Chains A and B, each alone.
Chain A
Amino acid sequence: MSAEQGHSPHEMGLTPPEPPGAVHDLGAAAIDLFIGARELYSVFVRTLYYVARGKRDKGAVVQQMFLIGNKSLFFVTITMGFIGMILLYQAGLQAKRVLPDFSMLGATYLELLVRDLAASLGALMLATRVGAGIAAEIGSMVVTEQVDALRMCAADPIDFLLVPRFLASMVMTTALIVWAGVVAFAAGAATASIAFDVPLRTFCDMQLIDWGDLSTGLAKCVAYGAAIPIVSGYCGLSTFGGSEGVGWATTRAVVNSSLAIIVLNAIISTASLMLFGAK
């Protein structure tokens, strides 16, 4: 800025204001993040409030359970089957390089599956399928003004749209993750016996699983089951601007629910390591 004269050009309004710098961008990103987090929190609290008040249409929950659960079954089975085969194949290659002893392969794999992999990878799959579906559906309702119509009828869209999806997702995510673990373990067992000649009896070894692993896995199921509909519902409800907006909302739903799962995973895993310790 040239301030040597009495009136700088900027003061007289002759030059445009300086282009925003890195600090401006960082601050804008931080403020956006803060506003987003606050709105997400408000959606979460309102959902919990309506769940606790407990006045809802049972048919809607059952229908959402069908859409979220049964319709995802095929997708989850296929992807988790392939994940199980890959994981075990890589683990076998890794074990081969350090000590060629496959007797603990099954037990370790099962422990990892129960504690983390079944829940986290299964939930990442559900985040893409279910999260995108919820955001696309609610987003379409927003841009076609159906949500405004709901508000006109004195029905809170969160009570009417999000609560059934929230309840259905909590139940069905847990069920699907248990199923995902079963599929991944079966695929792993098949790979182990074909690629590394590990007998099925040696592979199906549950000695490493304890209550710590089980409760960590279940805590993850519940946390992911709650996070996916809340994050994608929030993305869907904040849609604006026609068909392009619906696309944006769906994209944000997939990215944000995946990020939420990864961050929740890190938090829950650390807490469980502190709580149960490394055996």
Chain B
Amino acid sequence: MNVAESTGAAFLGLAETVGGMGVLFGRILTRLFALPPRLDYPELTRNLHKMAVKSLPIVVVTALFTGAIMVIQAAPLVKRVGAEGLLGWGAGFGTLREVAPLLTALMISGRVGANNTAELGTMVVTEQLDALRALAIDPIAFLIVPRFLAIIVTLFVMTLYADALALLGAAYTGEGLLQVDSRTFYNGLTGGQLYFSDVADGLVKSVVFGLVISLASCHFGLATKGGAPGVGRAVNATVVASAAGVFVLDYLVSFLLG
């Protein structure tokens, strides 16, 4: 295959993925904005439990370590300038606006998005979706809309947790490693250099990330074909598409809000 051919194939594949996700989004919206909304509420609560509550441990670990890493990386800079008072502000700015939403989205995409694709893909290859259709149950309203909502809510709530825990990790690392009192850290956070808009920026991002992760995972799950290897390929495609989508949208949202 020559270069032009493979480039064209790559772009066609990209267009197919984006188009498929767009069509799926449209289908979800028609179910969501119908009166009354057509979705399965027990499935929604089940998914919220499975996605949000069960993800709490890895979000906690990731956030604590991330906060620690932020301070470790800021350490030479802080020592060089002698600006211990700015540590809280510096770590808070980076964490709230960028790092906490981004890393939470990556972990949730790995744990929840991939898992969701695996589950939907298994249902597709074992023909459970066809069985639903045969019983006149709309698979989008029954399976996809609850998952879509659950992933978005999960990511939003987990980002709130991650914001708080990353700052906690940062404060204790600053105290242990740089001998910056945690009260100084707290003053740096609340000293007037950080605004609510910094927190809101991160939260808006988390909703956008939730949108792209849920659409990618549902799209690739529904498009699975070819038995067990097919499920593996679908999961692989989901995590790759989610990561790429998260970074591209992160850039766009940062610029729009900045």
Contacts and interface: CB of A to CB of B under 8 A. Distances in A.
Interface of A: 74-75, 78-79, 82-83, 85-87, 89-90, 93-94, 97-98, 108, 111-112, 115-116, 120, 124-125, 128-129, 132-133, 135-137, 139-140, 143-144, 242-251, 254-255, 258-259, 262-263, 265-266, 269-270, 273, 278-279
Contact of B110 (A74, A249, A251, A278): A251
Contact of B229 (A115, A136, A266, A273): A136
Label chain A's interface by main secondary structure: helix
Contacts of B206: none
A278 B58 contact: no
B224 to A, nearest CB: 9
Contacts of B117: 247
Given A128-B240, A258-B106, A243 B68 contact: no
A250 B236 contact: yes
A254 B115 CA distance: 10
Contact of A246 (B65, B86, B229, B250): B229
Contacts, number: 176
Contacts of A94: 90, 93-94
Contacts of B236: 129, 132-133, 136, 250
A139 B107 contact: no
A266 B243 contact: no
Interface string B37-72: 000000000000000000000100110011011001
Given A89-B255, A279-B79, A140 B229 contact: yes
B67 to A, nearest CB: 10
B250 A82 contact: yes
8 contacts: A79-B243, A86-B251, A90-B97, A98-B89, A129-B240, A129-B243, A133-B236, A255-B107
A275 B118 CA distance: 44
Given A98-B86, A247-B117, 11 more contacts: A87-B98, A115-B73, A125-B243, A132-B235, A139-B228, A243-B230, A251-B111, A255-B110, A262-B62, A266-B68, A273-B177
B118 A251 contact: yes
Contact of B80 (A90, A97, A247, A279): A279
- Chain A CB within 10 A, most for which of B76, B122, B126: B76
A243 B126 CA distance: 9
Contacts of B250: 82, 86
A273 B119 CA distance: 43
A200 B121 CA distance: 48
A18 to B, nearest CB: 23
Given A140-B232, A246-B228, A124 B258 contact: no
A86 B250 CA distance: 7
Given A125-B243, A250-B114, A90 B94 contact: yes
A86 B98 contact: yes
B125 interface: yes
Nearest to B72: A269
Interface in B178-219: 178, 193
B233 interface: yes
Chain B: interface size category: 35 or more
Contacts of B61: 259, 262
Contacts of A75: 240, 243-244
B254 interface: yes
Given A82-B250, A86-B251, A269 B73 contact: yes
B121 A247 contact: yes
Given A247-B115, A273-B177, A279-B80, A143 B244 contact: no
A136 B235 contact: yes
Contact of A247 (B62, B69, B110, B119): B119
Interface in B121-153: 121-122, 125-126
A112 to B, nearest CB: 6
Contact of A259 (B62, B177, B228): B62
A112 B114 contact: no
A208 to B, nearest CB: 9
B69 A132 contact: no
B239 A132 contact: yes
Nearest to A79: B247
Contacts of A262: 61-62, 65-66, 69, 103
Contact of A258 (B78, B110, B235): B110
Given A144-B228, A243-B126, A254-B110, A269 B69 contact: yes
B19 interface: no
B118 A265 contact: no
B248 interface: yes
B75 to A, nearest CB: 5
Contact of A270 (B72, B111, B115, B230): B72
